[in-house]
Amino acid sequence: MIELKNTVKKFDGFTALDEVDLRIEKGTAFGLLGSNGAGKSTILRLVSGIYSADSGEVLVDGESVYDNADAKQKIFFINDETVQFGSFTLKKLKNYYKVFYPSFSEEIFESLRKKTGLPLDKKINTFSKGMKRQAIVIIGLACRTDYLLLDEAFDGLDPTMRIIVKKMLVDAMLDRQLTTIISSHNLKEINEVCDTAALLHNGKIVFSRDIDDIKGSIHKIQVVFNKNEDGSVVNYTEEDFVQEDIEILHYEQSQSICFIIAKGDIDAIKASLLSKHPMLTEVIPLTLEEIFIYELEVLGYDSSDNNESE
């Protein structure tokens, strides 16, 4: 497994990670979510051994990863840049990584290369962005590491390329219990690929849990109230619905219709609403993106700027 224990990382006085505790179990498809500068990329670079922590621990299978060649052989990190390999052909890039990863599989490499149709002897700087991403993902999967880290894995890819890259990742996760950690601002794709996610804000972990549990703990309810006898609208505030173990994340009323985002047990939330004798109560499914936005709004983050990357 991967563990960050009370981990702190600073850059020129800026605290990128602030006493972060995070545990990623083996075989997990794990998503890192967060606003610009939240600390997602910093975590990936700490786990891959590029950065060293200023304090705390970063462990891979119980071993410190920084300056540890054996631990690093268990990890393949794909960042958003391939410019350093522009003069390489795919064949040369494959041979380069084979030196560092003894577990490299020529069979997997060639199988994936044939599926994508990537040329062996053309320089990578002649590839499209999607082809470049396919190339490095093929290399990463062929290295047969225990952990694959991807920073903005699908950014800039057209829909066809996204499907191809996603399928390669999912097949590897199913075939050999590959642990995959994906940082992305595209919450829809995190939802499609990952089973667990962590939300970061200002270098701290807001939550880290199964995506199904995340979705099950926050609810969007539309409520229609009866009008007063004189025809006037009944006005409520969010304080009217707060009870023990119920947290109102967002409240909005338009005439007799209320939209409420609440965290807590759905039965307790419904009971609180029914005490006001509504005409209609309807629970509306929330997307992961909506949950992300409302969680950050509680922390004071401006949700109008929610399409960000790090």
What's the CA gap between 98 and 154, in Å, rounded? 25
Q: Is residue 207 part of a domain?
A: no
At 227, the pLDDT band (50, 70, 90 cuts) reads confident
Q: Are 9 and 158 within one domain?
A: yes
pLDDT tens for each residue of 232-256: 777 777 777 777 677 888 888 888 8
CATH number assigned to the domain comprising residue 234: 3.30.70
**Residue 242 structural domain:** 213-301
Q: Looking at 202, 230, 251, which one is the last position of a domain?
A: 202
At 79, the pLDDT band (50, 70, 90 cuts) reads confident
Q: Are 287 and 155 within one domain?
A: no
Q: How many CB atoms lie within 10 A of CB 278?
A: 19
Q: Are 124 and 220 within one domain?
A: no
Q: Are 106 and 250 within one domain?
A: no
What's the CA gap between 8 and 150, in Å, rounded? 21
How does DSSP assign 164-217, residue by residue? HHHHHHHHHHHHH--EEEEE-S-HHHHHHH-SEEEEEETTEEEEEEEHHHHHHH
Query: Can you give the pLDDT at residue 52?
Result: 94
Q: Are 219 and 194 within one domain?
A: no
Q: Is residue 306 part of a domain?
A: no
Interval 256-269 mean pLDDT: 85
Contact 215, 263 (CB under 8 A): no
Q: What angle do CA 105, 106, 108 make, to 5 degrees?
A: 65
Q: Give the pair of three-digit tokens for residue 307.
A: 């399409």
Interval 79-95 mean pLDDT: 83
CATH number assigned to the domain comprising residue 152: 3.40.50.300
Q: How many CB atoms lie within 10 A of CB 135?
A: 24
pLDDT tens for each residue of 131-150: 888 899 999 999 999 999 99
Q: Are 223 and 103 within one domain?
A: no
Q: Looking at 163, 180, 202, which one is the last position of a domain?
A: 202
How does DSSP assign 206-264, residue by residue? EEEEEHHHHHHHEEEEEEEEPPPTTSPPPP--GGGT--TTEEEEEEEEETTEEEEEEEE
